[in-house]
Structures are given as C-alpha cells and as structure tokens.
C-alpha cells in the first residue's frame, strides 16, 4: 500500500514530498527498506526514536531526514545521529506526544540551534500563528488536527463531527500510572476508549507483578491498543470506544472544507511582511 501511494503521488506532482514512517509499526523495517529502495527524497521518522544506522541508511539512499523531537536532550541527540532537520512537537499536539509545551521547546531549541532547519508542531491551526513562528526562525510548521477537517481526509464523517463540537480542554493526555510501564502519552478527546486504556494499564501492571508478561510485552500491548482504537474511530467511525486523537487546536477547527480552501485561508491569514 505504501509503495502504491508513493507511486501515485509521483504521478500527480513533480515536486518533492516527505514520506512518514512510524518506528513503532510492526512493518517499520520493511517500510524503511522500501522508501530507501524507491529513493524517496525526504523521510520523516515518527512515533519513536530512530537508531543512528537507520538515519544513515536513509541518508545513504539520498534522502533528507527529518525527526520528531519532544524534548531538548532528544533534539540534541537526533542532530548528533545525523538528522537533517528537526520537528519540535509540543505537548499541545494530538496523538503520541512528549512532555514539554511548544512555547518552551521554541526557547530551548529554535532560538539556540542553527545547524539544521527547525520545524514546529503542536497547537497550530492558523496562518497568523504560522507567520509568527516563521518570524521567530522556524523553517516551517506541521499541522495535523487542522487537516483532519478537510474534505479530502479519509477520516469517517462521525470522527469529523466530533471534532466540530470539541473544545481545547476536551483533548486530554493519557496518564502514566507506573514507571514500570512507560507508555508514551497520547492526546485524544476523552471517551469510553480513554477509560478502557486506563483499565488496560492496570491490567498490564497486574500481569507484570505476577510475572505473566515482561516489560517489553506490556509496552507492545499498550501500543497495539492505540493502533486498533485509532483505526476503529478514523476508519470505522466508532467514536465511543475508538481513539479520537486530536490536538488542543481542535477548538479552532469547526468546519469541514476542501483542502484548497484550507490552504487559501492559511495563506490569506498570514500577514504580508512587506
């Protein structure tokens, strides 16, 4: 499927584009080999921390490499591992998030690092905000929640309908109950699925205590929950128990529009520097 989408994108545009691969995915290694073999121009590692050799493999295949950084130490480490660019993702973002707000990451990294381009993500939904971040020195921005509300997005209509009604405070980060099960926080709109994930953590901790599973198995079980729950919500429309991953910018997006209209709106809302 990934190969087919890359080929289709190349057919409709001569411009370069990034391919996002998730380090936590079961077929991650196969996907990394594929994008290297297809000589993709930009590879974005997401969902976890890529190894030094994985970054190097992508660069050896001719790709520019971008990596997500949710803390200052991680940003420094990824630059040392060879990342060509960083995407600072604040805790305001949706889905898997780090512990630090974008406003702090900007001061820690964007204002101090000039060796690689720095992109920023988390809580961004307007052209005006984009303009201010560019003036601060960002090379660009990433929006996720904003584009869920595009007509072209394949998310289920029920999923989008929930986004229309949601407030910023509804997009909550999941808690970590115990350091023995270091799950990555996930920001999503609270529903029955959020409660089920809390119960799953307690169940996994009980199994850890009794030696039924080890720590790695527990972490994979937690991640499998989110993979399945996200599909249930986005594809199947189960907005009661599925995962409604959303950033706090969800309150700023209350209308489904064509992608072109969203892009035009972002650009028109960007002040002219001249």
The verdict on 204 and 263 lying in the same domain is no
The verdict on 52 and 185 lying in the same domain is no
**Mean pLDDT confidence for 243-271:** 91
**Mean pLDDT confidence for 84-110:** 95
- What confidence score (pLDDT) does residue 88 get? 97
207 is a domain residue:
yes
Q: 50: closest CA among 39, 38, 36, 37?
A: 36
Q: Give yes or no for residue 86 having a pLDDT over 80.
A: yes
Q: Give yes or no for residue 272 having a pLDDT over 80.
A: no
- What confidence score (pLDDT) does residue 175 get? 82
The verdict on 11 and 86 lying in the same domain is yes
CA separation for the pair 145, 130 (Å, rounded) = 15
What length is written for the chain? Answer: 274
- What confidence score (pLDDT) does residue 222 get? 83
User: What totals of helices (H) and strands (E) does the chain contain, helices first?
Assistant: 11, 10
The DSSP secondary structure of 112-137, one letter per residue, reads T--SS-EEEESS--SHHHHHHHHHTT
The verdict on 98 and 179 lying in the same domain is no
pLDDT digits (tens, 9 = 90+) for 116-152: 999 999 999 999 999 999 999 999 999 999 999 999 9
Give the other-Cβ count within 10 Å of 143's Cβ: 21
Q: Give yes or no for residue 270 having a pLDDT over 70.
A: no
Determine the structural domain holding residue 24 and report its residue range. 2-149+254-268
The verdict on 14 and 67 lying in the same domain is yes
The verdict on 178 and 130 lying in the same domain is no
260 is a domain residue:
yes
- What confidence score (pLDDT) does residue 271 get? 60
81 is a domain residue:
yes
Q: 122: closest CA among 102, 104, 105?
A: 102
pLDDT digits (tens, 9 = 90+) for 156-194: 999 999 999 999 999 999 887 888 887 778 899 999 988
The verdict on 140 and 8 lying in the same domain is yes
- Look up the CATH number of the domain holding residue 38: 3.20.20.70
274 is a domain residue:
no
**Mean pLDDT confidence for 23-39:** 93
The verdict on 139 and 127 lying in the same domain is yes
The verdict on 70 and 132 lying in the same domain is yes
Question: Using an 8 Å Cβ cutoff, are 251 and 168 in contact?
Answer: yes
pLDDT digits (tens, 9 = 90+) for 196-250: 888 988 999 999 989 999 888 888 888 888 878 889 999 999 999 999 999 999 9
pLDDT digits (tens, 9 = 90+) for 65-83: 999 999 999 999 999 999 9
CA separation for the pair 98, 119 (Å, rounded) = 16
């Amino acid at each position: 499927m990934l190969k087919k989408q890359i080929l289709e994108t190349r057919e409709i545009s001569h411009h370069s584009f990034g391919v996002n691969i998730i380090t936590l995915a079961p077929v991650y290694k196969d996907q990394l080999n594929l994008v290297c073999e297809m000589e993709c121009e930009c590879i974005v590692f997401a969902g976890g921390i890529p190894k030094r050799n994985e970054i190097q493999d992508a660069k050896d295949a001719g790709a520019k490499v971008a990596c997500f950084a949710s803390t200052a130490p991680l940003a420094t480490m990824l630059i040392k591992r060879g990342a060509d660019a960083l995407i600072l993702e604040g805790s305001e973002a949706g889905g898997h998030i780090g512990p630090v707000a974008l406003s702090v990451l900007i001061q820690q990294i964007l204002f101090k690092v000039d060796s690689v381009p720095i992109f920023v993500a988390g809580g961004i939904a307007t052209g005006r905000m984009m303009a201010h971040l560019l003036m601060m020195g960002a090379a660009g921005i990433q929006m996720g929640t904003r584009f869920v509300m595009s007509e072209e997005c394949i998310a289920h209509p029920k999923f989008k309908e929930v986004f229309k009604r949601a407030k910023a405070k509804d997009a909550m980060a999941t808690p970590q109950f115990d350091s023995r099960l270091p799950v990555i926080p996930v920001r999503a709109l609270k529903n029955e699925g959020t409660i089920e994930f809390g119960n799953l953590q307690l169940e996994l901790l009980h199994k850890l205590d009794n030696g039924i599973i080890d720590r790695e198995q527990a972490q994979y079980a937690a991640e499998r929950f989110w993979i399945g729950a996200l599909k249930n919500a986005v594809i199947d429309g189960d907005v009661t128990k599925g995962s409604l991953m959303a950033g706090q910018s969800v309150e700023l997006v209350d209308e489904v529009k064509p992608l072109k209209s969203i892009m035009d709106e972002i650009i028109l809302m960007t002040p002219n520097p001249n």
